[in-house]
Amino acid sequence: MASGMLVRDLAPEVDMSGDVDIAEAMKRLAGKDVCSISDLTSGETRAILKLGHEVKRNPRAYRHALDAKQMVLMFEKASLRTRLSFEAGMNTLGGNAVFFDQTNSPLGERESIADVARNVERWVDVIVLRTYAHDTITEMAAHARVPVVNALSDFEHPCQALADFLTLEEHFGSVQKLNFTYVGDGNNVCHSLMLVGAQLGANVTVATPRGYSPDIEIVTRAREIAAENGCEIRLTQDPLAGAEDADAVYTDVCVSMGFEHESTKRAPIFRPFQVNEAMMARAKSSAVFMHCLPARRGAEVTDAVLDGPQSIVFDQAENRMHAQKALLLLLLGGLDNLSGARS
Ligand code: CP
Ligand code: NVA
């Protein structure tokens, strides 16, 4: 951010009230990597969401905020939502997105990740990675002089969780003390949701089969953050008890990308964890149903729940774009350009 300038001078549309300081967050986040939700403080996460709401309300104010900025998406795995929401988001900020398909050529195979980083940083302003190994993302971040963003690894899906809590804030106003229940595999999506939930003061319950609990380091970190924010992280192996009194019930596929060889083994283990009408009946009558998508209809969720009145899955999908636009604006110092964009 240019010295001596305040964001409120440049961006009157951004609500500067309350305890969330977007200007401070932009100073701290400019040039940073987001490999994990742990790379963000609670205040930075709140700032991303606050700006996400603002960008969604007023997209035209930001349409030149990242003029001429270049983003590369390097994906080792399939994607619908993440790819298109990043591409559309960057284009509507005035920047450009280049998609680099790595599905048949995993990063680090043709040349070292460090060498890829040292090339790519010469052409682009931000690198967005979808990988199998989380280490691929942290290694790229260690070597690239431009921000690296995790667009899903085997360990986390931070952009998903940011959009999901943006959606919950939109629906409930505040997520403080909200009872958020995740049912299913303690996977990448679950990890990021636990961390964001803890940062925002939500009570997060995770119900998984034995042997599929979230990673212990994530649980420990989420509990430390939760203690700072007056909320709790609970683990259970009883899915119906986990859904009891929930404001939001969330699930994901039982077989994530890269684990397809475990499909037959996992199917019977995860059957009692299916989100169906009986499980939703244990939650509050006002509860919402959430899923990051893609869904395996009839496996982790029934059609009746996915297509039912409590489902907000397509709001989540839409909000991927708004949350990521806010993230890109903060990582690339995009709010600096707003006055020029409107003149
Ligand atoms: N939720 C999500 O990340 O979807 P895609 O795999 O389609 O990107
Ligand atoms: N857990 C899933 C999420 C897909 C968006 C996977 O990693 O395949």
Q: What is the CATH number of the domain that holds 206?
A: 3.40.50.1370
83 is catalytic: no
Based on the domain organization, do 55 and 171 belong to the same domain?
no
For residue 11, tell me if it sits in a domain.
no
CA of residue 184 relative to chain centroid, distance: 18
Q: Are residues 163 and 301 in the same domain?
A: yes
Is 134 in the active site?
Answer: no
Ligand 2 contact via 98 beta carbon (within 6 Å): no
- Check residue 215 and report its DSSP letter: P
Q: Is 292 noted as a catalytic residue in this protein? A: yes
Q: What is the pLDDT of residue 10?
A: 39
Residue 325 is inside which H or E element, if any? helix 313-331
Residue carrying structure tokens 């903060």: 330
Q: Look at the block and give the residue holding tokens 């395996």.
A: 296
Average pLDDT, whole number, for the chain? 94
Residues 301, 325, single domain; the answer is no
pLDDT tens-place string over residues 77-111: 999 999 999 999 999 999 999 999 999 999 999 99
pLDDT at 6 over 80: no
Q: How many domains does the chain divide into?
A: 2
What pLDDT does 343 receive? 33
pLDDT band at 243 (very low <50, low <70, confident <90, very high): very high
**Best residue for ligand 1 mutational test, from 293, 296, 320 (most atoms within 8 Å of Cβ):** 293
| Ligand 2 pocket, residue 253 CB under 6 Å | yes
Sign, Cα dihedral of 154, 156, 160, 161: positive
Cα of 96 to ligand 1 centre, how many Å? 20
pLDDT(246) > 60: yes
Tell me whether residue 177 is in a domain.
yes
In whole angstroms, how large is the CA radius of gyration of the chain?
20
- Can you tell me the distance from the alpha carbon of 29 to that of 45, in angstroms, rounded to the nearest whole number? 10
Taking residues 42-66, report their average pLDDT: 97
Answer whether residue 12 is part of any domain.
no
Same domain as 333, residue 281 = no
Q: Which tokens sit at 281?
A: 């009946």
For residue 257, give the ligand 1 atom closest to its CA: 6
Q: Would you say the C-alpha torsion 260, 33, 65, 164 has a positive or negative sign?
A: positive
| Intra-chain end-to-end CA distance of the chain, in Å | 19
pLDDT of residue 18 exceeding 90, the answer is no
Say if residue 213 is in the same domain as residue 302.
yes
Do 92 and 55 share a structural domain? Answer: yes
Q: Does the beta carbon of 187 sit less than 6 angstroms from any atom of ligand 2?
A: yes
Phi-psi region of 202 (alpha: psi -120 to 50; beta: other; left: phi over 0): beta
- Which residue, judged by its Cα, is nearest atom 1 of ligand 2? 256
What is the CA(292)–ligand 1 centre distance, in A?
7
Classify the C-alpha dihedral 63-102-192-206 as positive or negative.
Answer: positive
Tokens for 290, please give them: 């959430």
| Nearest-10 crossing angle of helices 188-200, 42-57 | 90
Type of residue at 220: T
How distant, in Å, are the alpha carbons of 38, 199, 201, 269 from that of 228?
A: 14, 8, 9, 35
Q: For 61-84, how does the pLDDT look when each residue is reduced to its tens digit (9 = 90+)? A: 999 999 999 999 999 999 999 999
261 in catalytic set: no
Position 19 confidence tier, pLDDT thresholds 50, 70, 90: confident
Residue 337 pLDDT class (50, 70, 90 cuts): confident
**Interval 144-198: pLDDT, tens:** 999 999 999 999 999 999 999 999 999 999 999 999 999 999 999 999 999 999 9
List, chain by chain if needed, residues with CB within 6 Å of any ligand 1 atom: 79-82, 152, 160, 292-294
Which atom in ligand 1 lies closest to the alpha carbon of residue 83? Answer: 8
Q: State how far the Cα of 228 lies from the Cα of 212, in Å rounded to an integer.
A: 27
Q: How far away, in angstroms, is 219 Cα from ligand 2 center?
A: 19
Asked about 199 being catalytic, the answer comes back as no
Tokens of 84: 């298109």
C-alpha 16/C-alpha 19 separation (Å) is 8
Q: Are residues 53 and 135 in the same domain?
A: yes
In a domain, 32, yes or no: yes
**pLDDT for residue 57 is more than 90:** yes
The pLDDT confidence band at residue 4, using thresholds 50, 70 and 90, is very low
pLDDT value of residue 82 = 98
CA angle 262, 295, 199 (to 5 degrees): 95
**Please, are residues 74 and 103 in contact by the beta-carbon 8 Å criterion?**
no
| Residue 343 located in a structural domain | no
Would the pLDDT of 298 be above 60? yes
For the cut 60, the answer to whether the pLDDT of residue 16 exceeds it is no
Tell whether 256 and 203 lie within a shared domain.
yes
Pair 163, 152 in one domain: no
Q: Are 152 and 183 found together in one domain?
A: no
Residues 169 and 151 in one domain: no
Q: E strands, the chain, where?
A: 70-75, 96-101, 126-130, 148-150, 179-183, 203-207, 233-236, 248-251, 288-291
Rounded CA-CA distance 126/35 in Å is: 13
Q: Is residue 244 part of a domain?
A: yes
The Å distance, Cα 122 to ligand 1 centre, comes to 28
Which of helix, strand or coil describes residue 312?
A: coil
Share of residues in the chain with pLDDT > 90 (%): 91
Please check whether residue 6 lies inside any domain of the structure. no
Do both 68 and 141 map to the same domain?
yes
Q: Mark whether 252 is an active-site residue.
A: yes
Domain of 51 in residue numbering reads as 19-156+319-337
The pLDDT assigned to 341 comes to: 41
Assigned domain for 10 exists: no
Of 130, 134, 221, 291, which is the active-site residue?
130
Strands in 233-236's sheet, in edge-to-edge order, are 233-236, 203-207, 179-183, 248-251, 288-291
For the ranges 4-18, 37-51, 203-217, 229-243, which has the lowest average pLDDT?
Answer: 4-18
